[in-house]
Amino acid sequence: MAKGLDGEFLAQLKSKNDIAEVIGSYVHLERKGTNYWACCPFHHEKTPSFSVNTLDQYYHCFGCGASGDVITFVREIESVDFIDAVKILAERVKMPLPDMNFDSEKTLEQKRKRDQILKILNASAHFYLDNLNSGKADAHIQYILDRKLSSPTVRRFGLGASLDFKSLPQYLLDKGFRRDDILESGAVTASDSGKLTDAQGGRLIFPIINAFDDVVAFGGRVLEKTDFAKYKNTKETLVFNKSKNLYNINLVKKQKKAEGIKNLVMTEGYMDTISLWQAGFHNVVASMGTSLTKEQARLAKRYADDVLISYDGDFAGQKGAIRGLEILRDEGINVRVVALPEGLDPDDVVKRYGTEGYQKCLDEAMPLIDFKLTVLERGKDLSKTEEKREFIAQALKVIREEDSASVREDLLKTLRNKTGVTYESLRRDLENEPQRPAEHEIKEPVRSEDGADKYVKACRFILASVLFNAKYARNFDISRVKFDNTVHNIIAEYIALRQKGGENVRASDLFEIFDESTPELSAILDLSLGDGFSSPESEKYFNDSVKTLSRRKIEEELKALSAKCDRETELEKKKQYTRRILELTIQLKNF
């Protein structure tokens, strides 16, 4: 069985995990007719085009083409592999996992390596924790005391200590872990001479834990002045990709399940996150110093639609960081930026002004567009004509991005107050700005025309009519139709086998045959929208499609026979070809 699991187990797993209930735990679904609808979690959109079919237990986005069954959805939304998606769903319905018979030695070895890496990282985390409590980590303890972290906080985040460069590698070898697995975990590196060393040697250790409570990497901070980077993460591995993780997402997940959260506070680093958590802000994560990525934005969106960016006080000068905030916005997240006193980071604010002082900063967080204008103004002397004009030109481009007319008006008034230019002049200039391509609202979420010819469209409609049980296609023998496309042929073979066995045809079964990103499968699923199979026009188009393909089959045979007849020199064979050509020509006239 593909994926290494018994087919009967997978069928039971899917039947016990209703797809609407599972997807509804991640995104807000609204019922419309027989399906549920939502804004797609895999691309940014304003009009819902993401449909959940509870009858056939699959989802399909008519905007971006994303589709699949309940396992596919969990795999994509949680950014995990097939086996982990199965584990999540099995745990959800309390189903014990069977023994996994993997397809190949390569698959089995990859799973073994992944499991070993997680064990190595877990053992390393305990090793570092024991070091911190060994009485030998005075410098590490002093740093923790200087940062005013309490013992419960230190335990909660699993902070640890690396005392040297050689103890951890030896510890892991003594526990029986293989050298190559230890190196692939990222916790240990090898010198040019092959000597194993602790990748975080001498540092204060911050375990990086994913949403499933697995230690997947470590961050480390130096404790004395050095030419090395102050903070360092372990390398990317089979279980860790910095661009797909957020620090403290494990505790945020627990917080959301326990009490819910209305927004996320995003900081740059470990200490800011830990300090804010200790101060009572349990909805905080860190981007770990990396530029924000689409994967991190999607991860954040699973937990909240509103994100407050709380970087250092000089963040307004970091123009390059705006692109990261736009990535959050493009994923449908409402982004606000927390203004901190110049030169202070969140940890500083909490220590100097307390929980109330930091909460005040959160309450006064500015929308992303206001922040972008603040960044544009920074460093400009608006009393100088040239700099003022440059600022106005740049500001108008930013204001033009805003969809709301009332917000644009408010921003223009602010710009007027800053520059002394009249509101009417600014408004006229704004209207003269080059227009952005209009985002046409999709009344019916149908994907754009892909340029397919009439024969491909006919094939798609015939297959879709049978797949989605159109009344006029229920007794249709799919073997009557000749398909050229490989995907079409495979779908037709699946339908024929189900019909022969007297079984129902289910579109969701196709996700066990094809990759969910197969374009032609997505094009066929697009046809399931609305009442496309119930109108008299649909029945007529279905019959016309069957005739179209039948005519094409005859036309192709005619073309081939005519060529043979032209080449044939033997009179009797030429007569046979001619008679067949006449028969086919009559058939064509009868269509």
DSSP letter at 437?
Answer: P
Q: How far is residue 356's CA from residue 509's CA, in Å, rounded to a whole number? A: 55
Q: d(Cα 34, Cα 524) in Å, to the nearest integer?
A: 19
Q: Confirm if 407 and 370 have CB atoms less than 8 A apart.
A: no
Domain 2-92 coded CATH 3.30.70.260: no
Q: In this structure, what DSSP letter does residue 247 have?
A: B
Q: What is the mean pLDDT of the chain?
A: 84
User: Closest Cα to residue 179, out of 163, 195, 201?
Assistant: 195
For range 351-360, the mean pLDDT = 94
Beta carbons within 8 Å of 432's beta carbon, 6+ residues apart:
none
**Taking residues 550-566, what's their average pLDDT?**
76
pLDDT value of position 330: 80
Residue 441 pLDDT > 50: no
Q: Where are the domains of the chain?
A: 2-92, 105-238, 249-373, 379-432, 454-590
* Whether pTM exceeds 0.75: no
Stretch 311-334: mean pLDDT:
74
276 pLDDT band (50/70/90 cuts)? very high
% the chain with pLDDT above 90: 32
> Among candidates 271, 322, 274, 327, which has minimal Cα distance to 301?
327
Confirm if 264 and 303 have CB atoms less than 8 A apart.
Answer: yes
Angle at 577 between CA 573 and CA 578, to 5 degrees: 115
Section 281-303 average pLDDT: 85
The yes or no reply on domain 454-590 and CATH 1.10.860 is yes
344-375 b/e (C-beta count within 10 Å ≥ 16 → b): bbbbbbbeeeeeeebeebbeebebbbbbbbeb
Res. 580: pLDDT tops 80: no
Percent of the chain's residues with pLDDT above 70: 89
Lowest mean pLDDT among 143-147, 244-248, 566-570: 566-570
Q: Flag whether pLDDT at 450 surpasses 50.
A: no
CATH number for 249-373 (one of 3.30.830.10, 3.30.2350.10, 3.40.1360.10, 3.30.1320.10): it is 3.40.1360.10
pLDDT for 446? 39
Q: Mean per-residue pLDDT for 188-194?
A: 90
- C-alpha pair distances (Å), 324 with each of 161, 292, 308, 328: 32, 5, 13, 7
Going by pLDDT thresholds of 50, 70 and 90, the confidence category of residue 444 is: very low
- Tokens 């200490």 label which residue? 271
The pairing of beta strand 306-309 with beta strand 334-337: parallel
Please report which confidence band the pLDDT of residue 516 belongs to, taking 50, 70 and 90 as the band edges.
low
Q: What is the pLDDT of residue 137?
A: 95
CB distance 106 to 5 below 8 Å: no
Q: Give the mean pLDDT of 482-511.
A: 84
pLDDT > 60? residue 4: no
Query: Of the ranges 238-252, 286-300, 442-456, 462-476, which one carries the lowest mean pLDDT score?
Result: 442-456
pLDDT of 274 above 90:
yes
Residues 392 and 432: their CA atoms lie apart, in Å, by 13
More confident residue, 567 or 5: 567
Q: For residue 107, what pLDDT is reported?
A: 60
Can you tell me the mean pLDDT for 395-422?
Answer: 88
List pLDDT tens digits, range 303-313: 888 999 998 86
What pLDDT is recorded for position 187?
96
Beta strand segments in 157-233, E: 160-161, 188-190, 196-198, 204-209, 215-221, 231-233
User: Quick one: pLDDT at residue 101?
Assistant: 54
* Digit-coded pLDDT (tens) for 71-107: 999 988 887 778 888 989 999 999 888 765 545 566 6
Does residue 225 sit in helix, strand or coil?
Answer: coil
pLDDT at 152 (0 to 100): 96
How many residues does this entry show for the chain? 591
220-248 mean pLDDT: 87
Question: Residue 82 has what pLDDT?
Answer: 83
Q: What is the structure's pLDDT at 321?
A: 67
pLDDT at 591 over 80: no
Report the alpha-carbon distance of residue 485 to residue 127 in Å, rounded: 57
* 500 confidence band (pLDDT: 50, 70, 90): confident
Q: What superfamily in CATH does domain 105-238 come from?
A: DNA primase, catalytic core, N-terminal domain (3.90.980.10)
**Looking at the predicted structure, is the pLDDT value of residue 204 above 90?**
yes
- Higher-confidence residue: 501 or 185? 185
The answer to whether the CB of 511 falls within 8 A of the CB of 431 is no
Domains 2-92 and 105-238 share a fold: no
